[in-house]
Amino acid sequence: MLEVKGLNAFYGKSHILRGVDFHISKGEIVALLGRNGVGRSTTCKAIMGEVPPVGSIKFKDEEIVGRKAFEIAKLGLGYVPENRDIFPGLTTKQNLQLGIKPGQDVANSRWNLEDMYDLFENLKNRADVEASFLSGGEQQMLTMCRTLMGDPEVIMIDEPTEGLSPQMTKRVADLLNEISNRGVSILLVEQKLSIAMKISHRVYVMGHGQIVFEGTPKELEKRDDIRKEWLEV
């Protein structure tokens, strides 16, 4: 579904990504792990066209380097940024409806409003409430569900459990599993190692803008050296 080869990215003269390679298959949850500042969020932004990428990014075998962010989104690649970009002056329901793309075949989409309400009842209970009045956890779920309304085939989610309670963190994990079960691939950028190790099919570890480990969660569990050098604080 998504294949990244030799990806480089820069902020001015700062060389952030240095030849990043990874791939994601259909319905797979792939975690991108690493300490803050190693380039995980920049990887998502480069794939989405928000940071100019250098290298190859193929989505369903189609090269997308050079395309604009809205063009990439229309192809079926979703992105949930870390900062929970809700529209505060609009209601929860209106925020969800904004996720629908122009010309989208809504009747045949994987997700609709009722699906979102079934997955997270709080969104239904607060459908007519301005999104700015939702809790942090509710805003996170709203942002993820709004992206799903656009019926993406691959979704990149940056730090979905940041600042959330253990109960809400579990709800997010359940939603990620449901997304995967419906055949949608996930690139998960996550600080909480326990969540990523529990729900991911494969993991990549980043360090200094490069991939320093690739394998299954079980394989990473056996690599004390990798965890100590690149993950533990």
Task: Say if strands 77-80 and 154-158 run parallel, antiparallel, or are unpaired.
Answer: parallel
Residue 137 is predicted with a pLDDT of 86
Q: Is residue 143 part of a domain?
A: no
DSSP three-state, residue 190: coil
Q: Is residue 35 part of a domain?
A: yes
> What angle (nearest 5°) sits at the alpha carbon of residue 28, between those of residues 208 and 19?
25
Distance (Å, rounded) from C-alpha 182 to C-alpha 111?
A: 10
Q: Answer whether residue 61 is part of any domain.
A: yes
C-alpha distances in Å from residue 230, one per residue of 16, 21, 45, 204, 224: 16, 17, 22, 11, 10
Full residue range of the structural domain in which residue 220 is found = 2-90+154-230
- Cα–Cα distance, 158 to 43 (Å, whole number): 10
The residue assigned the tokens 């979905």 is 160
Q: What is the pLDDT along the chain (233 residues), one digit of tens a residue?
A: 999 999 999 999 999 999 999 999 999 999 999 999 999 999 999 999 999 999 999 999 999 999 999 999 999 999 999 887 899 999 999 999 999 998 888 888 889 999 999 888 889 999 999 999 999 889 988 999 999 999 999 999 999 888 888 888 888 899 899 999 999 999 999 888 888 999 999 999 999 999 999 999 999 999 999 999 999 87
Q: What's the CA gap between 96 and 181, in Å, rounded?
A: 21
Extract the tokens encoding 171: 């709800």
Q: CA–CA separation, 206 vs 38, rounded Å?
A: 6
- Are the beta carbons of 205 and 213 closer than 8 angstroms? yes
How many independent structural domains does the chain possess?
A: 1
CA distance 1 to 23: 8
Cα 66 to Cα 152: distance, rounded to the nearest angstrom: 20
Question: pTM for the whole thing?
Answer: 0.92
Residue 51 resides in a domain: yes
**Does any domain span residue 97?**
no
Q: Is residue 55 part of a domain?
A: yes
Q: Establish if 169 belongs to a structural domain.
A: yes
Residue in the structure block whose two tokens are 């997270």 = 120
Q: What is the C-alpha separation between 174 and 9, in angstroms, rounded?
A: 33
Whichever domain contains 83, its CATH number is 3.40.50.300
How far apart, in whole angstroms, are the C-alpha atoms of residue 139 and residue 134? 6
In a domain, 188, yes or no: yes
